[in-house]
Amino acid sequence: MPQRCVFCTLDMPPADGCICRDCFADLPWQQASCARCARPLPRPPADGVDCATCQLRPPAFSRTVAPLEYRFPIDAAIKAFKFHRRLFYARAFAQILRPALESLPPGIDAVLPVPLHWFRRTRRGFNQSRELAIPMAKALGVPMLWSVRRRIATPYQSSSTRAERRKNLREAFEVRRSIDARHVLIVDDVITTGETCEQLAKVLLAAGVEKVSVLALARA
């Protein structure tokens, strides 16, 4: 059975995934970004040099890979996936993320989707980060980590200031069982300020994890 490209609805062979070659090439790929936080930069940084923001306030994670800029058509696709349960996008997102795994540092031994508060998960019916993380854990051949919980339902990022977000996130995550991993990969859909991953990474390091990397579809 042929299937259709999720972006242009062109019929294509199933072996090609679910984004056609043209749409894949036309995605808003990040051109230059900070290796540490994936913040877009006007030109590629020198090897091993973090952006000014990371130098000023070094994040708890050591590497972030976000292959796309958060703009059309990926912003619309992520919103349809999250808020209208267009779950068929999950395979398209995996097609985008799988090659990005090669840009991550070696030694990842567990994958952690950004936990969603139970109330929001119940309302939405699923955790979008979990759907992105499962195929990545499978591709890396490592287990998923289920021992971190979100205690507080933080407000939607777009509706609060940076200071408010940080305050809300400070106590948001909790480790429920000891973590048997040294290098954890956090998976999220979109990185807006990096604050969620920062707080989550801090919690992981405090629980004895040695290194944290981050993978997201897009960076705002």
Binding mask 172-191 for Zn ion (x = CB under 5 A): --------------------
Say which DSSP state 218 is in. Answer: E
Q: Whole-number minimum distance, CB 22 to Zn ion, in Å?
A: 6
Q: Out of 17, 36, 108, 219, name the contact with Zn ion by CB under 5 A.
A: 36
Considering just the CA atoms, what is the radius of gyration of the chain in Å? Answer: 17
| Shortest Å, Cβ 142 to Zn ion | 26
What is the rounded CA–CA span in Å between residue 179 and residue 209?
7
The answer to whether residue 94 forms part of the interface with Zn ion (CB under 5 A) is: no
Site for Zn ion in 48-87 (CB under 5 A): 50-51, 54
- Calculate the alpha carbon distances from 22 to 2, 7, 68 in Å: 17, 10, 16
Cβ-contact 195, 165 below 8 angstroms: yes
CA 17 to chain centre: 20
Nearer residue to Zn ion within complex by CB, 10 or 140: 10
Choose which of 18, 27, 33, 34 interacts with Zn ion (CB under 5 A): 34
Partnered with residue 33 across adjacent β-strands are: 40
Number of residues this chain uses to bind Zn ion (CB under 5 A) = 13
Closer CB to Zn ion, 43 or 176, in the complex: 43
Nearest distance from C-beta of residue 14 to Zn ion, angstroms: 14
Q: What is the 3-state secondary structure (H, E, C) of 60-82?
A: CCCEEECCEECCCCHHHHHHHHH
Q: How far is the CB of 4 from Zn ion (least distance, A)?
A: 8
Residue 36 to residue 59: CA distance in whole angstroms: 8
Per CB under 5 A, 20 contacts Zn ion: yes
Q: Is residue 35 involved in binding Zn ion (CB under 5 A)?
A: no
Distances 39 to 44, 66, 100, 109 between C-alpha atoms, Å: 11, 9, 16, 25
Q: How far is the CB of 54 from Zn ion (least distance, A)?
A: 3
Residue keyed to tokens 């300020």: 193
Q: Which of 23, 78, 116, 184 binds Zn ion (CB under 5 A)?
A: 23
Contact positions vs Zn ion (CB under 5 A): 5, 7-8, 10, 20, 23, 34, 36-37, 39, 50-51, 54
